[in-house]
């Protein structure tokens, strides 16, 4: 789909499922932004989104709704799902905590699918023990703190870039420069085949190179 200039949506119901990245800058991964910006003929469609998050997801659904509205549609329903974080640490991703996350998700599958099957409109739904009904309060507290994280996020991105003048969206792609391999690589080429942005090349069977 990403190779196409535009994407014509023929289905009446369209779902977008994605992980939350860089919450301080909207939370929607760049590839998802590009994908949604290709949508055509979405005015009368029922669009829903489910985003997973490790730490928090306060702005992602709102940001996605903004993109969809710019194309004449709207995000009819949005759901957030707490899943294991990609951060290291025994207190962040211990087995007990992960099982609790999966249990909560299993309890809410029928609720979420019920909303979608009935094509109900719901702005934000956070079926999670930590957020749930406290979402509004958390949002009021979290939003001002977002600005505190922006400088550190930009500095991290600029570290992998040859230019410090690029906008956030372009700086984000330079994170590919941090890609590396070691002697454990067996040259199976799976990473190259499944990479959604097709920027991993196989060199000499065992050497991977990221190309922007």
The predicted structure's pLDDT at residue 145: 64
Check whether residue 187 and residue 131 sit in a common domain. no
* Same domain (yes/no): 146, 192: no
Task: Please tell me the pTM assigned to this model.
Answer: 0.72
| C-beta neighbour count of 84 within 10 angstroms | 15
What averages of pLDDT result for each successive group of 10 residues across the chain (212 residues)?
86 93 81 92 91 82 92 92 74 78 86 91 59 53 65 74 70 71 80 79 63 46
Same domain, 165 and 201: no
User: Per the domain annotation, does 2 fall within a domain?
Assistant: no
Q: What is the pLDDT of residue 119?
A: 94
Number of structural domains found in the chain: 2
- Measured CA distances, 50 to 76, 111, 186, 192 (Å): 12, 13, 35, 27
Q: In terms of domains, do 11 and 87 share one?
A: yes
CB neighbours (10 Å) of residue 212?
A: 9
Confidence (pLDDT) at 127: 47
190 plus 130 within the same structural domain? no
For residues 23 and 146, the answer to whether their CB atoms sit within 8 Å is yes
Q: Which domain holds residue 189?
A: 179-210
| 1 occurs within a structural domain | no
pLDDT of res. 97: 83
Q: Is the domain of 98 the same as that of 117?
A: yes
The three-point CA angle 129-131-132 to 5° equals 70
Q: Are residues 191 and 112 in the same domain?
A: no
Q: Are residues 58 and 36 in the same domain?
A: yes
Contact (CB, 8 A) for 32 and 18: yes
What DSSP line would sit under 187-198, residue for residue?
---HHHHH-TT-
């Amino acid at each position: 789909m990403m190779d196409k200039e535009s994407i014509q949506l023929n289905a009446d119901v369209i779902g977008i499922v994605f992980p939350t990245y860089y919450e301080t800058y909207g939370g929607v991964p760049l590839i998802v932004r590009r994908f949604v910006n290709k949508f055509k003929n979405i005015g009368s469609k029922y669009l829903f989104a489910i985003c997973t998050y490790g730490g928090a997801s306060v702005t992602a659904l709102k940001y996605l709704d903004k993109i969809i509205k710019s194309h004449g549609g709207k995000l009819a329903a949005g759901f957030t799902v707490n899943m294991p974080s990609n951060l290291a640490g025994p207190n962040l991703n211990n087995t007990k905590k992960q099982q609790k996350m999966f249990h909560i998700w299993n309890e809410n599958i029928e609720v979420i699918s019920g909303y979608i099957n009935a094509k109900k409109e719901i702005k934000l739904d956070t079926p999670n023990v930590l957020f749930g009904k406290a979402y509004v309060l958390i949002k009021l507290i979290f939003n001002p703190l977002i600005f505190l994280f922006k400088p550190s996020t930009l500095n991290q991105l600029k570290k992998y870039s040859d230019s410090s003048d690029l906008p956030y969206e372009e700086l984000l792609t330079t994170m590919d420069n941090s890609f590396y391999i070691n002697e454990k690589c067996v040259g199976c080429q799976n990473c190259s085949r499944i990479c959604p942005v097709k920027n991993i090349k196989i060199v000499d069977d065992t050497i991977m190179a990221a190309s922007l």
